[in-house]
């Protein structure tokens, strides 16, 4: 849509040209809109039909309508020719909104200069002297300004006609507001009786829907009893008129939906309510007036019914029924509230007891009886049954005897023969130090030692005691150094001090690393020295007794728990990971040979049998005793 646009306004010459030259006369369009008025349906359905008529009449490529109906904003789109008009949708809607906000018609031409090809025409939908409540915009093929002006005049006339149709009965209707419902709920506890509540509902509904009379009936035991008729202080239940209303209300309860009886001239196609024989009888008794009943239902069946009566020349339409349902149906929750709030205590107790007895002892209640027996059995089990009381505490695998293996001399690690967690035997090789430089130095010293011995022999042969003494000192120094280097070569192979488990998290990263004399390399936990260290919180330490059976599950393999016996418990607390705990020990389970020092898990210690109710509430009781100081 990059072609230039041009705005135009209507004038008298365009109107005359329309009358003289228009291939499609305004009467064709206006008669189509008049047909919409004759058809029953909601305001939204009429708006949709209007847009379809406009698009079809003008041969529009696309059309857009925006309108406010009953407090809701409705946006509608209709394409006359599906291909190639998607990109116009947003532009049509924005033009319609512009015409609505400006309260004036808009026409824009698109095409090369002097040769228009398309036009976007938009007109507001309003009543004379009032702000627009909607607008329609259409995309049409257009070859001249005069053509666009004719379309604009015709569309404007159509908008005025549909505005009159959509607002014709507005004076007879009232908007349903959620504040009405909220006000009833807020006053639910202030009503002195259900009759006062019903009087408020019927009078409000009669005024809002401009009815001659509104009646409310309460459903009890599948029967309807009239409790209030608008305009009357008392209700005579035996009067023929009240009995007719009650019968019609009963018909509405049986149908479970709105039921109407009125002139069929504008009601044959309406789907929002049914027609009932008892309502026809009621209608006949009130001189042919229009009557309507609407159930107030919570989903479990109607709680009440509200019936309306209007004059015969003002029948109920779909909008009336939908508005009444929006007002009345949400009030279903207020009826039980008012009923309970206005009942006396003895009456409420009798009603509750009767309902409970009927629920349990009534017909077809075998399943309920079985459920009650099961519930009582469960309560007895909770009160009297016992279960094993277990205390869960964190636990870690530790080694009592552990020896550290360190570097024998400064140098580089050549190879690592084991991994962290491997089980090794005594004197098994763990790590080998690089001895290349030591072996080179040893070869040089042995060569120099041979030369020193030759010098010693020469000095003795020459009778030089001083030179011989120096040569002997050099030999002794070289021999000591050679002995040291040979010992280092022997010590370069680091072995396990005893059978056990290797513990060195970074052992696999040591190859090629330079280490200094005495630097720790790994540690070996001796076989048979590992145990489970339980870290017991102070509030659970008194529950544990030496010899209790326990179950240990590691985090590494929780699906393979093992069982052991609780050992000695330290008398004083210690710090572990920033917490004060008591330490208890337990032997490793016999079938858990894969356990390694440092593995953590959870230990469950069996303390003894306790009643179910004690297991459920003892923590709460203990906390209450500490907080409120009661025995």
Q: Is there a domain that residue 388 lies in? A: no
Q: Is there a domain that residue 392 lies in? A: no
Range of the domain at 369: 344-383
> pTM of the prediction?
0.36
Residues ≥6 apart with Cβ < 8 Å to 283 = 261, 262, 289, 290, 291
Strands 259-261, 274-275: pairing is parallel
User: For residue 258, which of 317, 172, 300, 335 has the smallest C-alpha distance?
Assistant: 317
CATH (domain of 89): 3.30.450.40
Q: Do 533 and 510 sit in the same domain of this protein? A: no
- Percent pLDDT > 70 in the chain is 85
pLDDT digit string, tens, across residues 244-254: 999 999 999 99
pLDDT given for residue 27 in this prediction: 55
The conformation of residue 513, written as its DSSP 8-state character, comes to -
pLDDT given for residue 526 in this prediction: 82
pLDDT given for residue 188 in this prediction: 54
pLDDT digit string, tens, across residues 537-595: 988 888 888 889 999 999 989 998 999 999 888 888 888 888 899 999 898 888 787 88
pLDDT digit string, tens, across residues 433-487: 998 888 898 899 888 888 888 888 888 888 888 888 888 888 888 889 889 888 8
Q: What are phi and psi of 258, to 5 degrees?
A: -60, 140
Q: Do 143 and 63 sit in the same domain of this protein? A: yes
Residues ≥6 apart with Cβ < 8 Å to 250 = 223, 224, 278
Q: Do 337 and 348 sit in the same domain of this protein? A: no
CATH (domain of 541): 2.40.30.170
User: What number is the average pLDDT over the span 48-76?
Assistant: 85
Q: Do 286 and 156 sit in the same domain of this protein? A: no
Strand order in the sheet with 402-406: 402-406, 520-526, 500-503, 423-424
Contact present, 576 and 535 (Cβ < 8 Å): yes
Q: Do 308 and 378 sit in the same domain of this protein? A: no
């Amino acid at each position: 849509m990059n072609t230039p646009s041009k705005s135009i306004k209507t004038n008298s010459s365009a109107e005359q040209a329309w009358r003289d030259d228009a291939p499609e006369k305004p009467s064709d369009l206006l008669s189509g809109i008049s047909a919409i008025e004759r058809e029953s349906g909601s305001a939204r359905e009429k708006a949709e039909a209007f847009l379809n008529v406009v698009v079809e009449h003008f041969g529009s490529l696309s059309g857009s309508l925006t309108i406010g109906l009953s407090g809701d904003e409705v946006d509608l789109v209709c394409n006359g020719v599906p291909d190639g008009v998607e990109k116009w949708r947003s532009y049509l809607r924005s033009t319609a909104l512009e015409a609505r906000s400006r309260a004036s018609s808009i026409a824009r031409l698109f095409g090369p200069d002097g040769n228009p090809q398309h036009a976007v025409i938009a007109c507001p939908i309003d009543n004379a002297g009032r702000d627009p409540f909607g607008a329609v915009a259409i995309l049409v093929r257009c070859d001249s300004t005069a053509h666009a002006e004719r379309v604009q005049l015709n569309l404007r006339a159509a908008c005025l006609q549909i505005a009159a149709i959509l607002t014709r009965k507005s004076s007879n209707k009232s908007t349903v507001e959620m504040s009405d419902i909220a006000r009833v709920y807020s006053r639910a506890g202030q009503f002195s009786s259900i009759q006062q509540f019903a009087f408020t509902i019927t009078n409000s509904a009669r005024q809002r829907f401009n009815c001659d009379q509104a009646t409310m009936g309460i459903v009890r035991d599948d029967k309807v009893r009239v409790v209030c008729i608008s305009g009357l202080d008392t209700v005579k239940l035996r009067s023929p008129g009240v009995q007719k209303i009650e019968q019609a209300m009963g018909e509405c309860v049986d149908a479970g939906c709105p039921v109407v009886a009125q002139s069929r001239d504008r009601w044959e196609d309406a789907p929002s309510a049914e027609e009932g024989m008892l309502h026809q009888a009621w209608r006949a008794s009130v001189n042919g007036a229009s009557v309507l009943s609407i159930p107030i239902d919570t989903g479990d069946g109607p709680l009440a019914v509200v019936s309306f009566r209007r004059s015969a020349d003002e029948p109920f339409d779909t909008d009336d029924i939908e508005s009444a349902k929006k007002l009345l149906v949400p009030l279903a929750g207020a009826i039980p509230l008012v009923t309970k709030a206005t009942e006396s205590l003895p009456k409420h107790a009798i009603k509750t007891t009767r309902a409970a007895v009927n629920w349990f002892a009534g017909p077809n209640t075998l399943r309920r009886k079985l459920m009650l027996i099961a519930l009582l059995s469960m309560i007895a089990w909770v009160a009297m049954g016992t279960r094993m009381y277990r205390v869960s505490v964190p636990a870690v695998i530790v080694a009592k005897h552990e020896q550290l293996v360190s570097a024998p001399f400064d140098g580089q690690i050549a190879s690592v023969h084991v991994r962290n967690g491997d089980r090794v035997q005594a004197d098994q090789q763990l790590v080998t130090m690089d001895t290349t430089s030591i072996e080179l130095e040893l070869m040089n010293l042995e060569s120099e030692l041979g030369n020193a011995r030759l010098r010693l022999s020469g000095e003795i042969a020459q009778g030089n005691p001083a030179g011989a003494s120096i040569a002997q000192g050099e030999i002794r120094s070289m021999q000591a150094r050679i002995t040291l280097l040979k010992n280092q070569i022997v010590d370069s192979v680091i072995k396990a001090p005893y059978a056990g488990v290797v513990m060195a998290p970074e052992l696999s990263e040591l190859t090629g690393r330079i280490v200094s004399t005495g630097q720790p390399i790994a540690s070996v936990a001796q076989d048979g020295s590992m145990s489970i260290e339980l870290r017991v919180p102070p509030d659970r330490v008194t529950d544990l007794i030496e010899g209790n059976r326990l179950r240990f599950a590691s985090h590494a393999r929780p699906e393979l728990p093992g069982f052991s016996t609780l050992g000695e418990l330290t008398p004083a607390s210690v710090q572990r990971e920033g917490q004060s705990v008591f330490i208890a020990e337990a032997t490793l389970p016999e079938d858990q040979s894969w356990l390694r020092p440092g593995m953590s898990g959870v230990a469950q210690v069996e303390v003894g049998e306790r009643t179910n109710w004690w297991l459920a509430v003892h923590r709460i009781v203990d906390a209450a005793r500490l907080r409120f100081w009661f025995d």
